[in-house]
Structure 1
Amino acid sequence: MHLQKMIIYGYIKNNILNFVLSHPWAKQEFDIIIQSIKTPLKQLPPPECQNTDIGDIRAYVSFKQHKETALHEGSSTDERFSERAHAEFINSAQDERLHEIIEDIRRILNDRQD
């Protein structure tokens, strides 16, 4: 299961972007990639976050039972954002493992554009 599907919701409080996750594995994965989220967010914040100075990003695991969210039900209360990332970049990584990770990211971005 993808990490994105394990995010229950997110919110900003006291200039901290918080994510609530549904599984401890998701928190572990999130902690691994958190630095790769912080840097671009500070350099080029999305329009939704430009009026907020996000100082830190944290993740928590919720062990409560949650009802299916509107995202899965296709409800009109579902707030969606258009994908702004494109798979148009040069992969100049010399390390074979890193090169493959970057190509995996490219495939994910291409899938979302379809």
Structure 2
Amino acid sequence: MKNASQILNSIQSKPQFSKLNRYKCIKKIESMFMPTFQRFVQFTYIKNETLFFVLNHNAGKQEFDNSIENIKKALNLYAPAECGELDIKDIKAFITHSPATKEAKPLQKIQKYKERSNGDFTIDIKDPRLNALVQSIQKIIKEKNATSR
């Protein structure tokens, strides 16, 4: 019987899931970089056998340009197993000049409801502590109704 990992691997090896394999390859290559460079990468894609890095800052582009030859040599010597069927011949990077969009969190409105009770109800509770509590609630309701009129 197959376990979950074997089932996922057999599904991913099918041709209709080639984009999933491409995504895994790209993520594996990104993870090979230093964390300082990974922060500059906005997204990555492959087009016409060229791996494109879209960076969000000029410093990231400069760092990438300084180490481009080392990156190419490392990928030729050690190609990740996920990139077996992908043939990456060139690597390029460019900067996107569109600002990163931040999700605007909606402001939490404190909902206020009009009190529907007027405080006229009978209390048939035998426990003295609970009875006192319910009477204090009844008193608060009556006071709020008296002030809102």
TM value normalised by structure 2? 0.43
The runs of at least 4 aligned residues of structure 1 exceeding 2 Å deviation read none
Question: Hey, what does 1:52 align to over in structure 2?
Answer: 86
1:49 shift after superposition:
1.5
Query: 3-state DSSP class of the match of 2:93?
Result: strand
Matched, 1:19 2:47: no
Query: 3-state DSSP class of the match of 2:100?
Result: coil
Question: Hey, what does 1:31 align to over in structure 2?
Answer: 65
1:67 shift after superposition:
3.0
Q: C-alpha separation between the residues in 2 aligned to 1:2 and 1:33?
A: 13
For residues 1-114 of structure 1, the aligned pairs below 5 Å read 2-67=36-101
- Residues 48, 66 of structure 1: CA spacing in aligned structure 2 closer, same or farther, 3 A cutoff? farther
Identity of aligned residues (%): 40
1:7-41 CA-partner distances (Å, limit 9, x unpaired): 00111110001000001111011000111111121
Q: C-alpha separation between the residues in 1 aligned to 2:82 and 2:98?
A: 28
Question: Hey, what does 1:98 align to over in structure 2?
Answer: none
Q: C-alpha separation between the residues in 1 aligned to 2:77 and 2:97?
A: 33
1:50 shift after superposition:
1.5
CA RMSD of aligned residues (A): 1.6
Q: Which amino acid aligns with 1:35?
A: E
1:55-88 CA-partner distances (Å, limit 9, x unpaired): 10000000102235xxxxxxxxxxxxxxxxxxxx
Larger radius of gyration: 2
Deviates more, 1:13-22 or 1:35-44: 35-44
Q: Which amino acid aligns with 2:63?
A: E
